[in-house]
Chain A
Amino acid sequence: MSELPILSIVIWLPIIGGLVVLAASECDCLNPRPIALGFAVLTFLLSLPLYTGFDVGTAAMQFEERASWIETFNIWYHLGVDGISMPLIILTTFTTVLVVLAGWEVIRKKPAQYFAAFLIMEGLMIGVFAALDAMLFYVFWEGMLIPMFLIIGVWGGPRRVYATIKFFLYTFLGSVFMLVALIYMYTRSGSFEILDFHVLRLGLTEQILIFIAFLMAFAVKVPMWPVHTWLPDAHVEAPTGGSVILAAIMLKIGGYGFLRFSLPITPDASNELDWLIIFMSLVAVVYIGFVALVQGDMKKLIAYSSIAHMGFVTLGFFLVYTLMDANGSTSGAVLGIEGGMVQMVSHGFISAAMFLCVGVLYDRMHSREISDYGGVANTMPVFAAFMMLFAMANAGLPGTSGFVGEFMVILASFKASFWIAFLAATTLILGAAYTLWMVKRVVFGDIANDKVAALKDINGREALILGSLAFMVLLLGLWPGPLVEVMEASVKNLVAHIAISKL
C-alpha cells in the first residue's frame, strides 16, 4: 500500500475529476452531480490510508514523493506529510464530499462548472498541505484562489464583485511578499526545499523581514485582526458551498503556514514579535466576539465567530516564547500548538456545519437576516436539533469538538500569563452570547411569519450532511485522543526546533 503515491493520487484525482465533469457537461445527456460525488467520495476513501498507514512514532515526513520539476532552479515536485498536515488533508477530502452533496439540488446555474471548481480546488488545497517544495507550495497556494474567485464571482450574491475584488486584493497583497521571501531564501540556500529553509541560518534582521512577509500572507488567510474584513464580505456573498470550503479549509492554510514556515524558519523573529501575534489573537477573541454579537446577518455573524475562533489557533501557536520567558522551559508549548491544531480541525467541522445550517434556511427563505426568522423549531424540529447541537459546539460546550482546542489553549496560556488566559477565556461568555442569542431569535419563539410557517423540515440529503458533521463534532469532543496522538511527535519536534535560536 505504501508503494502507491497516495498524495499524488489525492491531489490529481479530484483535479482530473473536475476536468471530467467539465467535459461531461459538453454533452447534455450526463448529469454532473453523480460524477462529481463519485470523484469526491473516491478521493476521501483514498485519503484514509494516510491516517491508517501513518506512523505516529516519528516526526519525519511520510508518504514522501520526489521528482525533479524545474531543474534549472532546483525546483522539485516534492510531497510528504507529517502529523501537522495529514489531519488537514483528511479534513479537506471529507469536507469536499459534503460540499458536493450540499450543492446537489440547489445549484441550477452551470452545475458542471460549479462542481468542477470545487473538485479542482480540493486537489489544489491538498497540494498546499502536501507540498514540501516552496515553489510547488506557492503554485498550489495561488492556484487554489482561482476556483474560489470563480465560485464567489459566478454563483455568489448581489455584491459578489465587490467581495471578490476585496478578497483578491487582500490575499494577493499578502502572497506577493511571501513570494519575495521564498525567492530570497532560495538565493541563500540554493534550493526551494522547505525543510532546508528550516535549518537555514538567518540573521535577526533577515528573519524579521521574512517573518513580516509571511505574516502578511498568513494573517490575511487566517484571517487575523486587523486584516479580517474581507472574510465577512466574502462569506456573505459566497454560495453555501463556497462558505463551507472557505471557513473549513482555506482559513486553516494560514494557520498551517505559521507552523510550516514562520515558526521554524524564523524562530528568533517569532520570539521578537510573538507579542504582536498574541495581541492580535486576543483582539480577535475579544473585539471580534463583541462585533459578532451585533450582527444582523447570520452569515456575517458566523464569519466573525470564525475569526474569533481562529484567534485561539494563532494564540496557541505563539505561546512558546512567552512560556519560555515565564517558566524557563517550553512546558505548555506543545499543549498550546496541539490545542491550536485541534481547534483548526474542530472549527473545520463546526463552521462547515453552521454555514450549512444557514444554507438550509437560505435555500428555503432566501434571507440571511436574523430578523426575518423566529420560531423555526416549530416547523423544522429536526433541523432545530442539529442547529442547537452545532451552536453549542460553537459555544465550546464540553463533549463537542469546540471545547477541546479552546480548553488546551487556555490551559497552555495560563502557564504563560494569567491575563492571556483571562482574556482568552472570555470566549466562554462571548461565544455563548453571540451564538445562543442568534439561536434564540432564529430557532426559538413563536412562528414569526407566514414564510416560517411554510418551512419544510430537512430532507434525507440534508440530514445526511448535518448528521455526518454532528458525528464528527461529537467524536472529536468525546475522544480527541487519536487526533492528538497523530500530531504529538511532529509538534514536539517543532517545539524543540523553534526553541533553539538560529543566531
Chain B
Amino acid sequence: METIYLAIVLSPLIGSLLAGLFGKVIGRSGAHWVTIIGVAVSFVLSVYVFKHMVIDGGESFNGTVYTWMVAEGMRLEVGFLVDRLTVLMMMVVTFVSLMVHVYTVGYMHDDPGYQRFFSYISLFTFSMLMLVMSNNFMQLFFGWEAVGLVSYLLIGFWYKRPSAIYANLKAFLVNRVGDFGFLLGIAAIAMYFNTLDYAEVFAAAPSMSDATIEVFEGVPWSALTLICILLFIGAMGKSAQVPLHVWLPDSMEGPTPISALIHAATMVTAGIFMVARMSPLFELSETALSVVLVIGSITALFMGLLGLVQNDIKRVVAYSTLSQLGYMTVALGVSAYSAGIFHLMTHAFFKALLFLAAGSVIIAMHHEQDIRKMGGLKKYLPITYWTSLIGSLALIGFPGLAGFFSKDTIIEAVHASHIAGSGFAYVSVLLGVFVTALYSFRMFFLVFHTNERFDAHTREHLHEPPAVVTVPLILLAVPSVLAGYWIDPVVFGDYFGSAIQVSASHDVIGHLAEEFHGAAGFILHGIQGPAFWLAMAGLLTAWYVYTRQPDLANQARNRFSLVYRVLQNKYGFDRFNEIVFAGGARAVGWILWKLGDVLFIDGLLVNGSARVVGWFSGIVRHVQSGYLYHYAFSMIIGLLLLLWWTIGFVPNG
C-alpha cells in the first residue's frame, strides 16, 4: 500500500514538474495531458484506497517515508497517516482537482500562460495531498505553507494586473499572520510532547490536561488551551475566519478555476480539516472550543451579509464561501467534527460547481463579471443554468440536496450544544440561513432571469461554452445532489472510527444520532424546523425583490443607507488593515531606519566618533608648531612634572 500512497502524492508532482520545466517542449496539449493524467492517477488510486479501507474494512496506515532530520533525539519525519478521515479528503481533493483540470482546458484556452497554469494547479494538488496525508506537524506545516505558496502564485497568475499582485501579496501576508500562530502552536507541542508525530501527541494528550504555562508571569494558563488556540489561529488564516478573512474576497483576482479549486473547495478547508484532525487535543479544552465556536458564528453570519451587496459574480460566491466556512467552524466548535467534515465535503462539490458555473457565465459574457450587466442568460446557457440552480439549491439547504443534510446537522448540533457561546452561535447560523438564500438567489435571478442588460454585440457571441467546461459542471452537479445521502455512515454512523475523538460531555452528534432514522426521516424532520422556512423565506424574498419589484432593493438601500455603507465598506477591515498594519509597518520601518540607523548609530556614534577624533587632532595639531623653543619649553615643563610626581618635589619646601 505504501507504494500506492506515494504514487498518489507524487503523480501530480511529476505532472507539475513536466508541465512547468518542459512546458515549451511538450507544448500546450502536452502540458494538459501530463497534468490531467497525473491527477487522474491520484483520483483513481484514492478511490482504490477508499474501497480498500472503507468497503473492504482495511486497516488505516501510519508510516514513515523518510527521516527529515534527527535533532537532539527528536525525529522529524515525512510520512503518511491514511485513515478514514484522510481518505475522504483525498477523494474530495483529487476529484475536484480533476474536474478543475479538465475545465481549465476550456477556460484558459487562449491564455499565454497555459502550461504554467497547469503546472501550478498540479503542484497545488500535490501540496494539498501532502497536507491531508501527513502524520506529523512538521509535514502538516510544509503542506500548509506550500498550498499558501501556490495560492499566492495563482492569485497573481495574471501578474501584469496591479490588482492581482496586490491581492496575492495580501493573501500571503494575512496567511502568514495565521501561520505565525500556527508555528508557535507547533513549537508548544514540541515543548510539551517532545515529538511532532500525531499518534504520539494524541496518545500523550490526556496526561497533559493539567499542564500549565505562564505566558504572563503569575497567570497560569492551560497549556493545551494555549496550544489549541495557537493552532486555531493558523486555521483562521487558511480558512479565512474573521478577522483574518480579508484575503479571500481579493483572491478572486485569480483565474476562476483556481477560485473553485483552492479558494472554495479545498485549500480554504484545510483549517477545518486540521482542527478535526486535532480533535483529541481540542476536546481537552472547552475554552478553545468556545473560541472556535464564536469566531465561526461571527464569520457565518456577518460574511454572509456582505454577499448581499456585492455585484461581482465571483465575489458573491466568495462571501458565500466565507460564510459557509463559518458554518464548518461552528460545527467544530460544538465538537460536531464529523458534521463539519461532512459539510466540507458537500460544500466542496456544490461550491466548486457554483464557481465553475460562474466561470462559464464569465466566458460566455467575454469576461464581464458584473451581475448588473447580465440578466436573462437562462436561454443562452441552459446547462450552466440548470447546474447553477442545483448548486444554489444545495447551498441554501433545499431538502434532499447535499447542503441540506450537512447544514441541517450543524444547526441541530449547535442547538443541542451547551458549550459557552452556543446560544449566540445558534442565532447566527439560523439567521445565516436566511441570508444565504437571499444572496444566492439574488445573484441567480439577476444573472439568469430578469431582462437582458447587455449590448447586442455580446448577445451575438453568447453561447454555451464547450464540453470541457460543461461536463465538469454536470459531474459536479451529481454529488451536489446525492452526497447528502451519505450522512448515515459519515455523520451518524461510525465512519470515522478513531480518527475523530469526541469526549462524552460534548457528544452532540451522538445525541442527534439517537433520533436519526434514515435520510427520509431526516428530511421530514428538517422541513418542520425553522432553518427550512428561513431558507424558503430568503428564496422568496429574492424572487420578489429582484424579479417582481426591482425598485424595492433601491428603496431599501436608501432607507438603510448607513447599513448599506457599512456593508459596502466590508465593516472597514480593509481600510483598518491598510492604515494600521500596512501603513504602520512602513512608518515604523522608516522611523527606525532614519532615527536608529542613520541618525543615531551612523550619525552620532560612527561618524560622530570620527568627528571627535578629527576635532581632538585639530587641537593637538597646534602643539606641533615647529618652533624649537616651544619644544624646549614643554620638555622642561614635562621634566618638572615628572620630578614632582616621582620624588614629591615641591618648590616651597
Interface residues of A (CB under 8 A from B): 166, 169-170, 226, 229, 287, 290-295, 331-332, 334-335, 338-339, 375, 377-378, 388, 392, 397-399, 403-404, 407-408, 410-411, 413-415, 418-419, 421-422, 425-426, 428-429, 432-433, 436-437, 440, 443-446, 478-481, 484-485, 488
Contact = CB atoms under 8 A, between A and B. Distances in A.
B528 interface: no
B524 interface: no
A294 B606 contact: no
A432 B145 contact: no
Contacts of A290: 585, 588-589, 592-593
A397 B145 contact: yes
B190 interface: yes
A291 B596 contact: yes
A421 B184 contact: yes
B467 interface: no
A301 to B, nearest CB: 11
A443 B176 CA distance: 21
Contacts of B156: 444
Given A166-B606, A291-B596, A484 B589 contact: no
Given A411-B187, A414-B188, A445-B162, A481 B596 contact: no
Contacts of B188: 414
A216 B410 CA distance: 62
A312 B598 CA distance: 24
Interface in B563-613: 585-586, 588-590, 592-593, 596-597, 601-602, 605-606, 610
Interface stretch (B69-77, B200-208, B294-302, B385-393): B69-77
B585 A421 contact: no
Contacts of A410: 183-184, 187
Interface of B: 66-72, 74, 138, 141-142, 144-146, 149, 152-153, 156, 159-160, 162, 165-166, 169, 172-173, 176-177, 179-180, 183-184, 186-188, 190-191, 213, 215, 585-586, 588-590, 592-593, 596-597, 601-602, 605-606, 610
A444 B153 CA distance: 11
Given A335-B74, A399-B142, A440 B184 contact: no
Given A294-B589, A399-B146, A414 B160 contact: no
A173 B607 CA distance: 14
A294 B66 contact: no
B69 A480 contact: yes
Given A411-B187, A432-B176, A229 B71 contact: no
A436 B172 contact: yes
Contacts of A338: 71-72
Contacts, number: 143
B146 A398 contact: yes
Contacts of A293: 585-586, 589
Contacts of B605: 226
Given A338-B71, A398-B146, A404-B69, 15 more contacts: A226-B596, A226-B601, A226-B605, A335-B71, A335-B74, A377-B159, A397-B149, A398-B144, A407-B138, A410-B187, A411-B190, A422-B184, A436-B172, A445-B159, A445-B162
CB-CB nearest 8 A-B residue pairs: A414-B187, A290-B589, A294-B589, A398-B142, A293-B589, A334-B72, A481-B69, A444-B159
A418 B68 contact: no
Contact of A433 (B70, B72, B153, B585): B585
A166 B602 CA distance: 10
Contacts of A335: 71-72, 74
**Which of A170, A397, A398, A488 is packed against the most chain B CB atoms within 10 Å?**
A398
B190 A291 contact: no
Contacts of B160: 375, 378, 444-446
B contacts with A: majority SS? helix
A425 B184 contact: yes
B585 A418 contact: no
A332 B144 CA distance: 25
Nearest to B598: A229
A290 B67 CA distance: 36
Nearest to B185: A414
B244 to A, nearest CB: 12
11 contacts: A229-B601, A290-B585, A293-B589, A331-B72, A388-B153, A398-B138, A398-B144, A414-B187, A429-B180, A437-B169, A445-B159
A290 B583 CA distance: 12
Contacts of B165: 440, 444-445
A484 B68 CA distance: 10
B172 to A, nearest CB: 6
A404 to B, nearest CB: 8
A419 B217 CA distance: 11
Contacts of B190: 411, 414-415
Contacts of B596: 226, 287, 291
Contact of B172 (A166, A377, A432, A481): A432
A418 B181 CA distance: 12
Contact of A429 (B69, B71, B173, B589): B173
B187 A421 contact: yes
Contacts of A378: 160
Contacts of B71: 334-335, 338-339, 408, 484, 488
A126 to B, nearest CB: 26
A24 to B, nearest CB: 40
A291 B141 contact: no
B179 A428 contact: yes
Given A397-B145, A411-B187, A291 B592 contact: yes
Contacts of A292: 589
Contacts of A479: 66, 68-69
Contacts of B162: 445-446
A438 to B, nearest CB: 11
A287 B597 CA distance: 10
A415 B191 contact: yes
Given A229-B597, A287-B592, A290-B585, A440 B69 contact: no
A429 B581 CA distance: 11
Given A426-B180, A446-B160, A484 B70 contact: yes
A481 B67 contact: yes
Contacts of B74: 335
Most buried by B among A378, A399, A480: A399
Contacts of B597: 229, 291
Contacts of B153: 388
A50 to B, nearest CB: 21
Among B72, B156, B177, B187, the most chain A Cβ lie within 10 Å of the Cβ of: B72
A355 B605 CA distance: 28
Nearest to B194: A331
A418 B589 contact: no
A398 B68 contact: no
Nearest to B74: A335
Nearest to B590: A294
Contacts of B592: 287, 290-291
A436 B168 CA distance: 10
A446 B605 CA distance: 43
A59 to B, nearest CB: 15
A280 to B, nearest CB: 13
B74 to A, nearest CB: 7
B204 to A, nearest CB: 16
Contacts of B166: 440
A107 to B, nearest CB: 30
A150 to B, nearest CB: 22
Contacts of B169: 436-437, 440
Contacts of A331: 72
A229 B72 contact: no
Contacts of A484: 69-71
B74, B144, B176, B188: most-surrounded residue (chain A CB, <10 A): B176
B126 to A, nearest CB: 11
Contacts of A428: 176, 179-180, 183
B647 to A, nearest CB: 33
- With a 10 A CB-CB cut-off, give which of A292, A293, A331, A335 has the most chain B CB atoms: A293
A331 B73 CA distance: 10
